[in-house]
């Protein structure tokens, strides 16, 4: 299969010369990315317009590094080295000597464009200007620059220091050299790079949609309902954890991410795909978000949480799982995920290898979805999708043409 190539992170974290990295926005993502770059020996300037965000980032790093010392993961010298590699600045001009800048400010195209066009007046002509955006097109951000070929998407996952995957997204304007350089830098930071086409959700936020969407649909249909009006969230979660080996079920994960945040991603992807029914958001999640049942952070979501963020066990969780129902739930969510992954490959969003690595290293899936398709059998995938389509007659359940072609020709993904 054609497509972009995944690059394994290099063993060495040696930089050929000390890289200067400017990070714009010192919130959740910016501060995490700063830690990653500083740990790899880069000189980092972390910029924010809000002084309290800078103070918070500095204090958070102190805490994280102290914890790493307690766990014997680093020593005091390493802690000082990392801290000394980061300076906290409140003037965009201070980033003028950067080799690479990564922007992680508010997800708003107009604000990002304004910052990018100002930044370009300060930095050298060779400086790479990257965005950590999750949902905006890199082409639209690049268009704010006089030299759009220097612009690229570098998409980290939260928390950046812990999550292995980084999606690198060249825009149609991006030069080959900028793509190569960016890929090399991120690999040197000991991350696994997956190169993705500049399309909504890139790889992970596209391919993972059915994990949430199909679970919500199953819930809404009531097929997982237990007697006495119990909701079925736990039944669906347990089915995926027990039969699939997922670390968290979809409802636990949505509660963890936040129903407001997860709903917005789904809605954005749905809109960006011109309302393809495959990505249709669920009213259930919308109502939970509207009600303020955001999940762990608000103490209540699909589950109730104690003060330490642990799920308060519901009576439903204590009941034994109905094996047949669990299998039906698991098969339906899994085949929808496989179909989405196959379709991403079919549309050349990324290589097969990158698609599988993206899901295991970006969202900790127990297996790559294309490898899982081979394991279940392509015939099984096609017949499961056709069963769903025949039952509902909804475009949401259309089988990817790639799976169908592979079935006809007796092919496997062989990732
Ligand atoms: N949070 C996630 O899980 C996640 C994951 C991947 C990508 N992203 C993307 O990363 C970006 C940042 O997200 P976040 O969660 O870190 O946000 P955040 O709200 O935690 O931090 C944003 C920071 O940007 C600062 N800021 C806002 N406008 C600014 C400006 N004009 N100039 C300088 N600083 C400014 C704010 O003061 C704030 O400190 C977004 O584009 C988001 O889509 C987020």
- CATH code where residue 111 lies: 3.40.50.720
Judge if 261 and 114 occupy the same domain: no
Q: Last residue of a domain, which of 198, 223, 254?
A: 198
| In-domain check, residue 262 | yes
Ligand 1 centroid–CA 78 distance in Å is 27
| pLDDT tens-digit map of 59-82 | 999 999 999 999 999 999 999 999
Pocket of ligand 1 (CB under 6 A): 24-30, 48-50, 53, 104-107, 111, 115, 132-134, 155-156, 158
The Cα–Cα gap between 27 and 34 comes to: 10
DSSP states of 29-42: HHHHHHHHHHHTT-
Task: Say if residue 15's pLDDT is above 60.
Answer: no
335 close to 373: Cβ distance less than 8 angstroms: no
155 and 257 inside one domain: no
State whether 316 and 282 are in the same domain. Answer: yes
pLDDT digits over 90-145, tens only?
999 999 999 999 999 999 999 999 999 999 999 999 999 999 999 899 999 999 99
Condensed to tens digits (0 to 9), the pLDDT of residues 362-404 reads 999 999 999 999 999 999 999 999 999 999 999 999 999 999 9
For residue 1, being part of any structural domain is answered with no
Q: What angle do CA 212, 215, 216 make, to 5 degrees?
A: 85
Domain count, the chain: 2
Could you tell me the distance, in angstroms and rounded to a whole number, from the CA of residue 217 to the centre of ligand 1? Answer: 31
Say if residue 222 is in the same domain as residue 360: yes
Positive or negative torsion for Cα 103, 104, 109, 110: negative
If you average pLDDT over residues 168-188, what whole number do you get? 98
Indicate which CATH number applies to the domain containing 397: 1.10.1040.50
- The parent domain of residue 356 ranges over 203-415
Question: 248 and 340: one domain?
Answer: yes
Nearest to 26 by CA among 53, 64, 58, 55: 53
CA 75 to chain centre: 31
Asked if residue 117 and residue 71 are part of one domain, the reply reads yes
Give tens-digit pLDDT for 226-242.
554 445 899 999 999 99
Q: Do 193 and 211 share a domain, yes or no?
A: no
Q: Where among 163, 178, 198 does a domain terminate?
A: 198
Residues 130, 253 within the same domain: no
- Looking at the domain assignment, is residue 350 inside a domain? yes
208 with 319, same domain: the answer is yes
Among candidate residues 15, 21, 49, the one with its CA nearest the CA of residue 127: 21
CB of 337 closer than 8 Å to CB of 355: no
Residue to probe by mutation, ligand 1, list 46, 56, 59, 104, most atoms within 8 Å of CB: 104
Q: For residue 180, is it within any domain? A: yes
Whole-model pTM: value is 0.92
Q: Are 281 and 384 contained in the same domain?
A: yes
Structure tokens at 89: 């600045």
- Amino acid 316: pLDDT: 65
Give the distance (Å) from ligand 1 centre to CA of residue 104.
Answer: 4
């Amino acid at each position: 299969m054609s497509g972009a190539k995944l690059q394994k992170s290099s063993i060495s974290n040696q930089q050929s010369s000390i890289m200067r990295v400017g990070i714009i926005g010192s919130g959740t993502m910016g501060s995490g990315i700063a830690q990653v770059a500083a740990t790899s020996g880069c000189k980092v300037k972390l910029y924010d317009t809000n002084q309290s965000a800078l103070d918070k980032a500095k204090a958070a790093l102190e805490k994280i590094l102290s914890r790493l010392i307690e766990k014997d993961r680093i020593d005091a010298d390493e802690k000082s080295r990392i801290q000394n590699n980061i300076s906290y600045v409140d003037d965009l001009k201070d980033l003028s000597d950067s080799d690479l800048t990564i922007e992680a400010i508010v997800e708003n195209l107009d604000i990002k464009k304004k910052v990018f066009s100002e930044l370009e007046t300060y930095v050298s002509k060779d400086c790479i200007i990257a965005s950590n955006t999750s949902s905006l097109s890199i082409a639209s951000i690049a268009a704010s620059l006089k030299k759009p070929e220097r612009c690229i998407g570098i998409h980290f996952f939260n928390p950046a220091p812990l999550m292995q995957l980084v999606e690198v997204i060249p825009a149609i304007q991006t030069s080959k050299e900028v793509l190569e350089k960016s890929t090399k830098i991120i690999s040197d930071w000991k991350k696994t790079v997956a190169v993705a086409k500049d399309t909504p959700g890139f790889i992970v936020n596209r391919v993972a949609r059915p994990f949430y969407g199909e679970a919500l649909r199953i819930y809404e249909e009531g097929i997982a309902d237990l007697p006495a009006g119990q909701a079925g969230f736990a039944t669906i979660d347990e089915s995926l954890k027990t039969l699939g080996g997922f670390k968290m079920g979809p409802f636990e994960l949505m509660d963890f991410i936040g129903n407001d945040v997860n709903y917005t991603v789904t809605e954005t992807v749905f809109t960006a795909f011109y309302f393809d029914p495959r990505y249709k958001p669920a009213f259930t999640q919308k109502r939970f978000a509207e009600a303020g049942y955001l999940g762990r952070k608000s103490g209540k979501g699909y589950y109730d949480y104690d003060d330490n963020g642990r799920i308060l066990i519901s009576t439903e969780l204590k009941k034994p799982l109905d094996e047949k129902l669990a299998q039906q739930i698991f098969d339906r969510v899994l085949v929808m995920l496989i179909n989405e992954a196959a379709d991403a490959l079919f549309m050349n969003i990324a290589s097969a290898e990158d698609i599988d690595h993206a899901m295991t290293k970006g969202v900790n899936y127990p297996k790559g979805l294309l490898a899982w398709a081979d394991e279940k059998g392509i015939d099984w995938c096609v017949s499961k999708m056709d069963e769903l389509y025949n039952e509902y007659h909804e475009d949401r359940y259309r089988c990817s043409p790639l799976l169908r072609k592979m079935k006809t020709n007796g092919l496997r993904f062989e990732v």
